[in-house]
Amino acid sequence: MRQKVFSIATIGIQIFTLILLTIILMGCTNEDIDQNVTINTSPVNHAPTVNLTAENLSGNIPFYPQFHYWCWDQDGNLDYCEMLSDGKVFVNSSTIPFPEDTVWPMYNTTGKHVIEIRGTDKEGLTSSTKLTYTVTSKPPGVLLNLSKTSSPAPFDPLNGIYLYCYDPENQMIFCEIKIDGDVIASYPNLKNNPSGGVDFYTLPDTVTHTIYKEAGGHTIGVIARDKEGQNASKSVEFVVTTAERSYPTRNLAVADQKLIWPVNCEPGINCSMGYPDLDKNGVSACGYTYQTHEGTDIGFTWEQMDVGVDVYAAYDGVVKWVFDGKYDRCTSFGDNIVITNPDCAPPTGEMTSGSSSGYQVCTESGPYCNADQRINKGWSECIWCFWGGNVVIILHPDNLYVFATRYDHLKKNSIIVSPGDTVKRGQKIAQVGSAGRSSGPHLHFEVWTDWYTPVDPWTPGCNPPWTYWQYSP
């Protein structure tokens, strides 16, 4: 083709034409080469592309994996995508992307778990990727506290208990309380408990509270177990002590356990009587009383008091409390109340440890709670307040029936014993007065079976033989 062109043109035209044709022919050169290559016009099918990543690959029961994913096909012919948890499909969708309200898998068992994402296109090409999670479990927990771990007998350790079994993963299946190895409460199957735990703030009615009457050491323990077999436990030791009343060391040298008459007088002859009213009905089978009176009043004249009426310890014992120094000619009780002295006036303010106000005197706080307070109220510290002005309390550790005796309204500065003194039955301790809430000279004498649990010594009746009195008129 190129030789024909050179033969028919002038030189100028030939040059011009040559340039022109060269340009034209150069434009045709590539076409000439490409005519030797075959172009495939049918499209290539790509497999779908999937992606699965996670922020963490381990966690405690119940574990919800936090992951991100996508599933896409560059050819636009995705058929479906699916998510599998441990081989089971939990999301299957042909939409792109997956719905956002997907329910993620939750793992309630420990060990390794697999999440997989798969994409499949309409030509059947598939892509997949997977992640492995490790699920672990925390052991259950227990809390155990007693309000007191040492108490005089009788002691109920479950009074004031603080006890709790729980599992942070709600996997607890068992909780049990033991005292000295004996199961006292057991919760063997907690699977149906929605909280997964059990609360012992209120122990079930079926639990029998063991009341310890003997001294010694004991152990209370609690154990909890979860579904994975992990245990948690705690134990607390508590000690039951003997009260100040010490039965084992009782001194039987005193042949009988009877109280002597605590003053030198003969009822109805040279002293008057007022009897206890412990049932608070205002009536005493033995004679005069007034409602709620808890002692035996032995009355005298002012003249007898001035001469001096001795008061004796009713039984061997140890002096516990002494209050003295109050004005002793009070008439601040009865029908014709006359407050003749501030010491005869009603107390002002609260009953507080060691306080003294008007005719009231209070002990320091200590383990002086009676059985009801110890057992039902769980108290370990108590005070007692007396309205006798000048008062003596004697403990009788060697007496089977009598814990203590109380002597009230004593003459000012007549008390000749001190706390801690050992006294013998019949030993002089003070003189009769009219201190405190008193209408005139008398001895208010009380008999206790426990810390401030008064009893009527005039039992079983008004005539001998009495349970408590050696006295015989």
Query: In this chain, which stretch among 73-81, 183-191, 297-305, 428-436 interacts with Zn ion, using CB under 5 A?
Result: 297-305
Whether residue 393 contacts residue 319, with contact meaning beta carbons closer than 8 Å, is answered with yes
Write the interaction track for Zn ion spanning residues 432-461; mark x where CB under 5 A is met and - where it is not: ------------x-----------------
Question: Could you tell me the smallest distance in angstroms from the CB atom of residue 164 to Zn ion?
Answer: 49
In the bound state with Zn ion, the residue whose beta carbon lies nearer, of 277 and 450, is 277
**Structure-token pair, residue 174:** 């068992």
Enumerate residues 6+ apart whose C-beta is below 8 A from 126.
47, 48, 118, 119, 120
**Residue whose CB is less far from Zn ion, 411 or 444:** 444
**In terms of CB distance, is 197 or 295 closer to Zn ion?**
295
Per-residue exposure over 127-163, b if at least 16 CB sit within 10 Å of its own CB, e if not: bbeebebebebebbbbebebebeebbbebbbbbebeb
Least distance from Zn ion to the Cβ atom of residue 279, Å: 16
Helix (H) / strand (E) containing 5: helix 2-7
Phi-psi region of 76 (alpha: psi -120 to 50; beta: other; left: phi over 0): left
**Is 297 a binder of Zn ion (CB under 5 A)?**
yes
Shortest Å distance, C-beta 444 to Zn ion: 3
The CA distance from 75 to 78, in Å, is 8
The distance of closest approach from Cβ of residue 362 to Zn ion in the complex, given in angstroms and rounded to an integer, is: 18
- In the complex, least distance from residue 296 CB atom to Zn ion, rounded to whole angstroms: 7
Instruction: Tell the smallest beta-carbon distance from residue 300 to Zn ion (Å).
Output: 13
Q: Which is nearer to Zn ion, 224 or 392 (CB)?
A: 392
Which of 56-64, 163-171, 293-301, 459-467 is the region at the interface with Zn ion (rule: CB under 5 A)?
293-301
Q: Among candidates 67, 111, 109, which has minimal Cα distance to 91? A: 67
Cβ atoms of residues 142 and 222 within 8 Å:
yes
Question: What would the two tokens of residue 433 be?
Answer: 């007065």
Candidate ranges 76-84, 207-215, 262-270, 296-304; the one touching Zn ion (CB under 5 A) = 296-304
CB of 418 vs Zn ion, minimal distance in Å: 24
Is residue 177 within 8 A of residue 262, CB to CB? The reply is: no
**Nearest CB to Zn ion, comparing residues 196 and 295:** 295
Separation of alpha carbons 319 and 234, rounded Å = 43
**Residue whose CB is less far from Zn ion, 146 or 410:** 410
Distance CA 299, CA 209 (A): 46
Nearest alpha carbon to residue 386 among 429, 365, 357: 357
**Closer to Zn ion at the Cβ: 295 or 397?**
295
Instruction: Count interface residues toward Zn ion (CB under 5 A).
Output: 3
Q: Output 295 or 441, the one with its CB closest to Zn ion.
A: 295
Token match 């009893």: residue? 455
Q: Which stretch binds Zn ion (CB under 5 A): 78-86, 102-110, 112-120, 290-298?
A: 290-298
Binding marks (x or -) toward Zn ion, 208..237, rule CB under 5 A? ------------------------------
Q: Give the contacts of 443 (CB within 8 A, at least 6 positions apart).
A: 262, 263, 297, 298, 309, 311, 407, 408, 409, 410, 432
CA-closest candidate to residue 294, choices 448, 459, 470, 462: 448
Cβ nearer to Zn ion, comparing 121 with 277 = 277
Residue among 167 and 297 whose Cβ is closer to Zn ion: 297
- Closest distance between Zn ion and the C-beta of residue 140, in Å? 59
Q: What is the DSSP letter of 151?
A: E
CB 309 to Zn ion: min, Å: 15
User: Is the CB of residue 180 less than 8 Å from the CB of residue 141?
Assistant: no
Is the preceding peptide bond at 97 cis, omega within 30 degrees of 0?
Answer: yes
Binding segment for Zn ion (CB under 5 A), chosen from 23-31, 192-200, 229-237, 288-296, is 288-296
Whether residue 154 has a cis bond before it, omega within 30° of 0: yes
Would you call 385 helix, strand, or coil by DSSP?
Answer: strand
Nearer residue to Zn ion within complex by CB, 217 or 346: 346
> Rounded to the nearest whole angstrom, what is the least distance from the CB of residue 388 to Zn ion in the complex?
8
Which residue number is nearest to Zn ion in terms of Cβ? 444
Determine the interface stretch with Zn ion among 66-74, 78-86, 117-125, 295-303 (rule: CB under 5 A): 295-303
Q: Give me the least distance between CB of 441 and Zn ion, in Å please.
A: 12
428: CB partners within 8 A, 6+ apart: 310, 311, 312, 416
Interface residues toward Zn ion, by CB under 5 A: 295, 297, 444
